[in-house]
Structure 1
Amino acid sequence: MTADAGTGIFGEPVRGRIGVLIEEHFDQTEFLKFNDFFPAHGYQVVYLSHLWGNPSLHFRANPDDGRIGAEVTVTTEVETADIRDYRGILLIGAYATDRLRYQANPRKGQPNMAPAVRFLRRAVATPGLKTGTICHSLWLFCADRSLLAGRRVTCAHNIICDVENAGGEVVYDGDQTAELVIDGDLISGKHPGMVDSFMRTYIAELEKVHA
């Protein structure tokens, strides 16, 4: 799988580009679903990551039952990506966003300056730009409390404490976290088991902006 998926007949996206932040150990169910669903609805999927000075990097999915079923070569550097090129931004699940928040030289008292975190700050500050998170991917928001404080979200059960410690308000449905939560321009999904409804909702929210 190459870095981009889903272009129109002349090589351009029909409805625009959706940028997906990715790193090693991404969720392969979400990855495969994204690559089918969004191009089928006229959106080009562009994978972004911090490339550490390389022209490209190759990432593998988190294994399911010991098997790695998806790989991706990324050529788009998140540090220099122009947020105006994208109709929406998605954060893929599993451990990819934990890796994306890594900063080589943290400084005491300074907010996280990892390239993907700085990109996310630009994304959430852009009116009408829809950001979607699923499963563990709220970890990238947790890198900077100002990104998550007061936001209503859902997530995988094993990162509830991380999200709450970063100021997020986790929404429940009985004794489970809610499957899907919309809070303004932020759409969050619980886990890969509901990725289909997450993608449908995300597209519907995108279309509201340009209706």
Structure 2
Amino acid sequence: MVNGLLEGKKIAILVETEFIPEEITAYQQRFGELGATVHLMSRLWGHESLCFVSDVDMVSKPLEYLNVNIDFQAVDINEYAAVIISAGYTSVRLRYFQPPEGCPISPELARTAPAVQFFAQAIANPKIVKGAICHGLWLLTPMPELLQGRKVICHEVTIADIANAGAVYVPSASGIVVDGDLVTGRSAHDVSAFIDAIAKLIIQHNTKPGQKQEFIGATS
């Protein structure tokens, strides 16, 4: 394993309540080993920080909590090497939008959700690696033009919505599909391979012609 290859790089992870603890830990540990700084961020609604909760495995574990003090609306997205939508139902909660007072709710207003707009900004910058795993692509369905023609994989629960938005579902034995600057994963269980694929793209984006960077992933 070669560490330090992402030294100085920042990774943005969008989170919310219903996050998957093991997935978040994997981002922090693996990207940290590679030298990157992981920023957990969400919509903080004017607060300095918020505490999010996970009850995804209450049968065998107690509630788990995650304190977040970075609001994605207050960062410069172009400072990040990668922007990742975490798994589980975080993308559903992040799609929340507030219609203008006195304005009837319409499907078009879903495009105004701050997290949707944030990820659209990331999509617009090809230098940023975009990652979405499990249910994550749900965040993009309000803007189907962002998914049109993109090769992806996602959890089976979301496959109809993603296909209806114009994406091309690609089965993958590894659980990972890479389409240009977009990396998608089938489920949170594939997070190690997902991280490796994102790290490889970041390194490729920052490797000069003739320069060789050896990367050995955790799943290699």
Name the TM tier (shorter chain).
Answer: 0.7 to 0.9
- Pair 1:190 & 2:186 matched: yes
On the 8 A contact 1:171/1:178 being kept in 2, the answer is no
Q: Distance in 1 between matches of 2:55 and 2:181?
A: 28
Q: How high is the TM-score relative to the length of structure 1?
A: 0.86
Q: Distance in 2 between matches of 1:96 and 1:45?
A: 17
Q: Distance in 1 between matches of 2:164 and 2:189?
A: 25
Question: What is the percentage of aligned positions where both structures have the same residue?
Answer: 31
Larger Rg: 2
- Matched letter for residue 81 of structure 2: R
Alignment map for 1:77-88 (pairs within 5 Å) = 77-88=71-82
Q: How many residues align?
A: 197
- Matched letter for residue 97 of structure 2: Q
On the 8 A contact 1:134/1:155 being kept in 2, the answer is yes
Moved over 6 A (4+): none
Q: CA deviation at 1:203?
A: 0.4
- Pair 1:20 & 2:19 matched: no
**Partner-residue secondary structure (3-state), 2:74:** coil
- Matched letter for residue 21 of structure 1: L
**Change over 3 Å in CA distance of 1:70–1:39 after alignment to 2:** farther
Q: CA deviation at 1:178?
A: 6.4
**Residue aligning to 1:201:** 197
**CA deviation map 1:134-154 (0-9, x unaligned):** 111111111211221111100
- Matched letter for residue 115 of structure 1: P
**Partner-residue secondary structure (3-state), 2:125:** coil
**CA deviation map 1:56-96 (0-9, x unaligned):** 11112242253246422111111222112211111100000
Alignment map for 1:1-211 (pairs within 5 Å) = 14-66=7-59, 67-68=61-62, 70-105=64-99, 107-108=105-106, 109-110=108-109, 112-173=111-172, 179-211=175-207
**Residue aligning to 2:217:** none
**Residue aligning to 2:213:** none
- Matched letter for residue 133 of structure 2: I
Q: Distance in 2 between matches of 1:61 and 1:17?
A: 25
**Residue aligning to 2:212:** none
Q: Distance in 2 between matches of 1:171 and 1:158?
A: 15
Q: Distance in 1 between matches of 2:72 and 2:99?
A: 18
Q: How high is the TM-score relative to the length of structure 2?
A: 0.83
Could you say what the CA RMSD is over the residues aligned between the two structures, in angstroms?
A: 2.0
Q: Distance in 1 between matches of 2:64 and 2:193?
A: 22
**CA deviation map 1:87-127 (0-9, x unaligned):** 11111000001100110217534451111111111100012
Q: Which runs of no fewer than 5 residues in structure 1 stay unpaired?
A: 1-7
Q: Distance in 2 between matches of 1:87 and 1:171?
A: 25
**Change over 3 Å in CA distance of 1:50–1:197 after alignment to 2:** same
On the 8 A contact 1:154/1:178 being kept in 2, the answer is no
On the 8 A contact 2:97/2:110 being kept in 1, the answer is no
**Change over 3 Å in CA distance of 1:121–1:68 after alignment to 2:** farther
Q: Which runs of no fewer than 5 residues in structure 2 stay unpaired?
A: 208-220
